[in-house]
Structure formats: structure tokens, C-alpha cells
A and B are shown apart, each in its own frame.
Chain A
Amino acid sequence: DAGVIQSPRHEVTEMGQEVTLRCKPISGHDYLFWYRQTMMRGLELLIYFNNNVPIDDSGMPEDRFSAKMPNASFSTLKIQPSEPRDSAVYFCASSLAGEKNIQYFGAGTRLSVL
């Protein structure tokens, strides 16, 4: 199993630009999670999906953030426009219902907004 795959691994952009992060969950998993990790706030849940449907987006910080899951094998997290305070590592994780919420994390995308 290839695990959760995220791209790009690193992204450097300028303030005001649109950023799109991508995630491919583990095949067969029906839950997908987007997290953000910073030194100040730790690991925070932004949004999660079940069977491609957004269930809880209460962690999404602002309207500048949006997430989609058009099918079971692909999700995107978009920031438009980006700001320096969005600089963080963004992780995607997936899990399988019935596995007691064991979540498997991707390698993450390190985002730097200049």
C-alpha cells in the first residue's frame, strides 16, 4: 500500500497567490482529514470528509480556505488569497470506518508564504 500521498511536498509562494494542496488517501479508506501544524498552535484539524462529503469544517480558519473531495481518491485544500500567516505544514490523513479511527498521515506539504 502506497499510504497517503500528498503533493507538493514543498510550496513557496507570494502573498496574495492561490495555493492548492493535493491528497490521495489510502485506497478503500472512507474518511479523509486535513490538518495544519504550526509551532504556536500545534496540530489542528481543519476539515474532514466521509465518503467524499464534508462533515465538519469548523476548523477552517477563514473563507480564504476551501476544500473539496470530488471522488474517493482525491482531495484538494485551496487557499486564496494566501497570507504569510498561512505558512505551516499541512497534513492529510485517512482512516477506515470500523478501524476505531486509526488515522494514517501523509508526508505533509510545507507551505511558505512570503
Chain B
Amino acid sequence: QKEVEQNSGPLSVPEGAIASLNCTYSDRGSQSFFWYRQYSGKSPELIMSIYSNGDKEDGRFTAQLNKASQYVSLLIRDSQPSDSATYLCAGSNDYKLSFGAGTTVTVRA
């Protein structure tokens, strides 16, 4: 079992809708969590980081962290075709990152 599990997807949403991505982790020592976006054939790009329980908003993106439930999520509001990508969830309790398998999101125009 991977340390970080993501809902497998793929996820298809219409343009303008909310895309919801979920992630659970097994290492209770994990303190930092990240969402990376990876376009096909490209490298992972950091879009959100979250370190404490609650919500963190950045533009159309909202990350949520619940350490008691060992759960991290990412909401993408007003989804755009340019949001079509694979989203990787990662957790860390030191300087190592453990990545989930990724969720592929397709935004239909």
C-alpha cells in the first residue's frame, strides 16, 4: 500500500464546474502536504501547499487538510480547459516527499 492514496479517477468535469480531488495518507508523522499539477509530457509543478488543519485558498484553488482523518483535498472552482492535467498529492514528514498515483482531470469545453 502506498503511503499516499488518491481517488483514482479519471475525473471529467464540464467547464465552469468544480473539480474535487481527494487524497489520504498513512504516515501520521506527515506535516506538510502538497498538490502538484503535471501536464502530459511535462514535469510536476507545485500549485498548493498546506501545513495546518483547515482550508487554504489561492485563486480558484482551495486545499483542505484534516490531520485527524489523514485526509487532504483540492477543489478547483470554475474549471477551465487549461486545468486538464494529472494532479499529484504528496505528503512529507521530513525532507522526503511521498507521492500518490495521481488523478487525471479532463475539463470538457
Chain A residues with a Cβ under 8 A of chain B = 31, 33, 42-45, 48, 50, 55-56, 91, 95, 97, 100-108
Are A31 and B34 interface neighbours, CB within 8 A?
A: no
Residues on A with beta carbons closer than 8 Å to the beta carbon of B100: 42
B95 interface neighbour in A43, A101, A107, Cβ under 8 Å: A101
Are B44 and A45 interface neighbours, CB within 8 A?
A: no
* A-contacting 9-mer, from B21-29, B45-53, B55-63, B73-81: B45-53
Are B46 and A102 interface neighbours, CB within 8 A?
A: yes
CB distance from B81 to the nearest CB of A (A): 23
Alpha-carbon distance between A103 and B67 when the two chains are bound, in angstroms: 22
B99 at interface by CB-CB < 8 Å: yes
CB distance from B47 to the nearest CB of A (A): 11
Residues on A with beta carbons closer than 8 Å to the beta carbon of B97: 33, 45, 101, 103
Are B43 and A42 interface neighbours, CB within 8 A?
A: no
Chain B 66-109 interface mask (CB, 8 Å, partner A; 1/0): 00000000000000000000001000101111111110000000
B7 at interface by CB-CB < 8 Å: no
